[in-house]
Amino acid sequence: MLELTNVDAFYGNSRALQGVNVRVGAGEFLSVLGRNGVGKTTMMRAILGLMDRVTGELRLDGRDLAGLPTHLRAKAGIAYVPQGRGILPRFTVRENLTLGTFAAPADKAVLDEEVFELFPVLRDFLGRNGGNLSGGQQQQLAIARALQARPRIILLDEPTEGIQPNIVEQIEEVITRLNRERGIAVVLVEQNVRFARRASTRFALLEKGRVVAEGSVSALTDDLVHRHMAV
């Protein structure tokens, strides 16, 4: 479904990804792991076309993404929930959700109210400004907004970071359901190894901009975690 082949990505003249090869099949759940600053977010941004320069091949269902601007990559079926959530604080919950529909197929560019089954609190806050929500509620809104595009693959950058524990459990459950029940492929950047092991089908470990280990999640050993994630 999504393939990165020998991908390098640059901030100015600084190379942040080096020869990255990653594949995500239809309906798969890939966890991207590693210490802070090793290139995990950069990989997400490269997929979305948000880097200064990217070389190598990026393909979605065999289609070359290299020449596509970010909004057309979104329309092709890739949704993104960035680190920090990216909620527009002066827009209401409804307006934030509506923004997500702009990337949906033309026949589905209306508010998908199924997200209120996943995140019931959002229905009660439709008229409230996004900036007045708690951190956990904003993260729920960010995921719900991404789902408005009816994506086939969703990129999630540390969605549980800084969230209260009871909301973390809910968000983890929703992410797993999206993959298992709706068949949406997931690429998850996460520090929570236990969640990655529970939810993922495959993993990729990054170190200094390179993939140093990857495979079935059953191969994510404690030794790998200690060597490439321990501080």
DSSP 81-95: E-TT----TTSBHHH
pLDDT of residue 132: 95
Taking the alpha carbons at both ends of the chain, their separation in whole angstroms is 34
Residue 1 counted as domain residue: no
pTM: 0.93
- Please report, for residues 182, 186, 201, the alpha-carbon distance to residue 152 in angstroms, rounded to integers and kept in the order given: 9, 9, 17
Question: What local confidence, expressed as pLDDT, does residue 106 receive?
Answer: 81
Residue 217 lies in a domain: no
**Percent of residues in the chain assigned helix, strand, coil, to nearest 5:** 35, 30, 35
- Domain limits at 170? 29-51+69-201
For position 91, what pLDDT does the model report?
A: 96
Residue 224 included in any domain: no
What six digits make up the tokens of 56?
């190598």
Asked whether the predicted pLDDT for residue 116 surpasses 70, the reply is yes
The pLDDT score that the predictor gives to residue 23 is 95
- pLDDT band at residue 127 using 50, 70 and 90 as cut-offs: very high
Contact between residue 43 and residue 23 where contact means Cβ atoms under 8 Å apart: no
Over the chain, what is the mean pLDDT? 93
Q: Is residue 207 part of a domain?
A: no
The predicted model gives 127-146 an average pLDDT of 94
Residue 30: CB atoms within 10 A of its CB come to 24
| C-alpha distance from residue 23 to each of 20, 52, 203 (Å) | 10, 22, 10
Q: What is the 3-state secondary structure (H, E, C) of 42-108?
A: HHHHHHHCCCCEEEEEEEECCEECCCCCHHHHHHCCEEEECCCCCCCCCCEHHHHHHHHHCCCCHHH
Structural domain count of the chain: 1
Residues linked to residue 157 through DSSP beta bridges, in sequence order: 189
**What is the pLDDT averaged over residues 185-192?**
93
Q: What is the pLDDT of residues 70-103, one digit of tens each?
A: 999 999 999 999 988 889 999 999 999 999 999 8
Please count the other Cβ atoms lying within 10 Å of the Cβ belonging to residue 201.
Answer: 17
Q: Give the residues across from 189 on adjacent strands.
A: 32, 157
pLDDT given at position 231: 66
Determine the distance from the C-alpha atom of residue 59 to the mean position of all C-alpha atoms in its chain, rounded to a whole number: 17
Q: Is residue 223 part of a domain?
A: no
Q: What is the pLDDT of residue 92?
A: 97
CATH at 88: 3.40.50.300
